[in-house]
Amino acid sequence: MRAPVAVPGPRDRRCVQLGQVEAALRPNTGLPVEWSAMSAPVVVELQQGSPADLAGLAVGDTVVALNGQFPRDVIEWQQLVDEADLELEIERGGLAITIEVDKRAGEPLGIDVDAAIFDRVRTCDNHCDFCFIYQLPKGMRRSLYLKDDDYRLSFLYGNFTTLTRFTEADLERVITERLSPLYVSIHATDPAVRSHMLRNKRGAMSLRWLEAILDADIEVHGQVVCCPGVNDGSTLEQTLADMLDRYHRLASIAVVPLGVSRYSPVDAMRPHTIAEARAVVATVERWQGIFLDVLGRRMVYAADEYYLRAGRPFPDHHTYEGVDMHEDGIGMAATFGREFRGETDQAVSTASGFFAWVEGAPPAGYRAPRNPGASPDAPATPVELTARPHSKKPIGVLTGTLGAQVIEPLIAATSTPTPTRVIPVANEFFGGNVGVTGLMVGADLQRVLAAEPQGDRYLLPDVCLSNGRFLDGLTVDDLPRPVEVIATDGISLRKAIGA
Ligand code: SF4
């Protein structure tokens, strides 16, 4: 059986959401929806005893129309199936069948379908020098190369959109259907800088849509991917000043460093120096003070990666003011520390990783919890089933080089019943400045684990897996040592090592 589509997922702080677009694919073709024609949703799961089941629907049915209408995506789908007493036109084995479904308004229909977008995913018409898709090696899954810029994926998955392809009709839909929150890539408010960064002249003017969306009281989270020598320094200052002046209703602004892989085709795109990272942190913190004075909230935050690069301690948890930007790599270190030290019993596992990408949430409810399982057969709560606190075996915690800088001090300050060490996995697959745990690939883990002793317990955070696969297509079965997959949060790690 094909897996149900994963609707919500983590967003990638670098605009392109590796893996999330995969969630909108048609699993039977492996093709992004954008590359295939408009096609009706196919039933991939059917709940026994549900209205759909009682009415005679079956897995594999293609739902051609609902009450005579053709939903474009799961947003419209959800609105239609919320109605009472549906008439479904389906196709089964080449036959057209009409099925009447008795149900109450708001009662779940009881089926999951195979895609989130039924027409075409709107692709990006920008050509950013810092785009991570241009920095992927050849030969990866086709879906990873799809550049989306679709406000629906922004709403459903938290993908960032530049709004360069946004239209008046889109605005009307966002407002009338209250598609909130949305996530917008800003990068710079200077029209010339923004159009230069996006390599698209529409980038100069498309932030007008941001004002219109904010005017309609839609919650919007902004992102600035900061490229040294391009939009840092005085440009970042001007951008933050404009935020205060024109976009102060933004829920948050995440300032994140560009990611540079060794496949980057643009020499000018380089990681920040330590001095540049310190300057970004200083700018953001100064503007936090200004925003706090004027608006009563800090609004702008720098990515954890900046603090690591700058050699600065992470800000205190409370300074993040409850704004959830973990999937942007912001405040995650502080949250992870609180979780690990037992200062909270609420794991923020829906937002793990500096560069998280997972799949597995059902289409109903749009922004459902992520699936922490490492593979289609993985347990729903992996840490509960894999943690073996009574084992006396030494433990190795596998993580990216950035994650290691966060986790090592936590473990060093904790007493554990068995020797526990952090194993940083240098990312040779991507190279460059890529050190985030979510981008660990199977090949690098193979190399690192082969040098580790047999018989130890090895813990692997689930954030680097999607439907059981690493980005390079390998699975945990391809690793030279058995690993225990745990959810990527401090509570799960603490439990798994028996601390
Ligand atoms: S080209 Fe730019 S806007 Fe388009 S997907 Fe890449 S980073 Fe995002």
Of 319-323, 343-347, 370-374, 459-463, the poorest mean pLDDT is in 370-374
Q: pLDDT tens digits, residue range 40-73? A: 889 988 999 999 999 999 999 999 999 999 999 9
What average pLDDT does the segment 3-9 reach?
A: 35
Q: Whose CA is nearest to atom 3 of ligand 1?
A: 126
Which amino acid residue places its CA nearest to atom 2 of ligand 1? 128
Question: In this structure, are residues 16 and 153 in contact, taking their beta carbons and an 8 Å threshold?
Answer: no
Under 8 Å CB-to-CB from 289, ≥6 apart: which residues?
A: none
Mean of pLDDT values over 376-395? 54
Gap from CA of 186 to ligand 1 centroid (Å): 12
Instruction: Please tell me whether residue 92 adopts helix, strand or coil conformation.
Output: strand
Rounded to 5 degrees, what are φ and ψ at 262?
Answer: -70, -5
Q: Give helix then strand counts, H and E, for the chain.
A: 15, 13
- Please determine, for residue 240, whether its predicted confidence score (pLDDT) is greater than 70: yes
**pLDDT score for 458:** 97
* Between 359 and 493, the higher pLDDT residue: 493
Atom of ligand 1 nearest to the CA of 130: 7
- Per-residue model confidence (pLDDT) at position 114: 83
Residue 111 in contact with residue 88, Cβ under 8 Å?
no
Quick one: which atom of ligand 1 is closest to the CA of 125?
4
Compute the distance between CA of residue 498 and CA of residue 391 in angstroms, rounded to an integer: 9
Q: Are 464 and 439 in contact (CB under 8 A)?
A: yes
Span 414-433, mean pLDDT?
Answer: 93
Atom 6, ligand 1: residue with shortest CA distance:
131
Q: What confidence category does residue 390 fall into, taking pLDDT thresholds of 50, 70 and 90?
A: low
C-beta of 90 in contact with ligand 1 (< 6 A): no
> Would the pLDDT of 372 be above 60?
no
Who has greater pLDDT, 55 or 35? 55
Range name among 62-71, 181-190, 363-372 with the lowest pLDDT average = 363-372
Pocket test for ligand 1, best of 128, 151, 166, 230 (most atoms within 8 A of CB): 128
Q: Are 149 and 165 in contact (CB under 8 A)?
A: yes
Q: What is the pLDDT of residues 431-478, one digit of tens each?
A: 988 998 888 999 999 999 999 999 999 999 988 887 788 889 899 999
Looking at per-residue pLDDT, the higher value among 248 and 469 belongs to 248
Mean pLDDT of 256-283: 94
Q: Is 19 helix (H, G, I), strand (E, B) or coil?
A: coil
Contact 468, 475 (CB under 8 A): yes
330 alpha carbon to ligand 1 midpoint, in Å? 20
Q: Is the CB of 269 under 6 A from ligand 1?
A: no
Residue 423 and residue 460 in contact, taking contact as beta carbons nearer than 8 Å: no
pLDDT value of residue 285 = 97
Kindly state the tokens that stand for 316.
Answer: 């205190």
Whether 301 shows a pLDDT value over 60: the answer reads: yes
Worst-scoring range by mean pLDDT, 146-160, 263-277, 379-393?
A: 379-393
pLDDT for res 392: 84
User: Which stretches of 368-456 are assigned E, i.e. beta strand?
Assistant: 395-400, 420-425
Compute, in angstroms, the gap from residue 21 CA to the centroid of ligand 1.
13
| Residue 238 CB burial class (10 angstroms; 0-12, 13-18, ≥19) | middle
Distance 306 CA to ligand 1 centre (A): 21
- Ligand 1 centroid, distance to 124 Cα (angstroms): 6
pLDDT in the model for residue 384: 40
Q: Residue 179 region, left (φ>0) first, then alpha (ψ -120 to 50), else beta?
A: beta
Q: Give 135-177 pLDDT, tens digit per residue.
A: 988 888 777 788 889 999 888 888 899 999 999 999 999 999 9
Query: If you average pLDDT over residues 386-411, what whole number do you get?
Result: 85
Q: Residue 184: CB within 6 Å of ligand 1?
A: no
- Residue 433's pLDDT is what? 85
Cβ atoms of residues 171 and 185 within 8 Å: no
Asked if residue 255 has its Cβ within 6 Å of ligand 1, the reply is: no
First-to-last alpha carbon distance for the chain, in angstroms, is 40
* 324 has pLDDT over 90: no
pLDDT at 389: 54
Dist. CA 129 → ligand 1 center (Å):
9
- pTM score of the predicted model: 0.85
Distance 250 CA to ligand 1 centre (A): 21
Rounded Cα–Cα distance for residues 28 and 113 (Å) = 12
| Ligand 1 center–CA 239 separation, angstroms | 19
Residue nearest to ligand 1 atom 5, measured at CA? 147
Instruction: Give the confidence band of 349 by pLDDT, cuts at 50, 70, 90.
Output: low
Tell me, in angstroms, the distance from the centre of ligand 1 to residue 218's CA. 23
Q: What is the per-residue pLDDT for 38?
A: 63
Q: Is 165 in the pocket of ligand 1 (CB under 6 A)?
A: no
Contacts (Cβ under 8 Å, ≥6 apart) of 86 = 66, 67, 80, 100, 101, 103, 109
Q: Name the percent of the chain lying above pLDDT 90.
A: 63
Please report where in the chains the tokens 């991917």 appear, as a residue: 225
Mutate to test the pocket of ligand 1, among 20, 34, 122, 147 (most ligand atoms within 8 A of CB): 147
Q: If we measure between CA atoms, which residue out of 197, 200, 226, 224 comes closest to residue 129? A: 197
pLDDT at 360: 33
Rounded-to-integer distance, Cα 28 and Cα 79, Å: 26
Q: Which residues of 269-287 are buried (b: 16+ CB within 10 A; e: fewer)?
A: bbbbeeebbbbbbebbbeb
Q: For residues 131 and 136, what is the distance between their CA atoms, to the nearest angstrom?
A: 9
Instruction: Give how far Cα 100 sits from Cα of 24, 85, 89, 238, Å.
Output: 28, 7, 9, 58
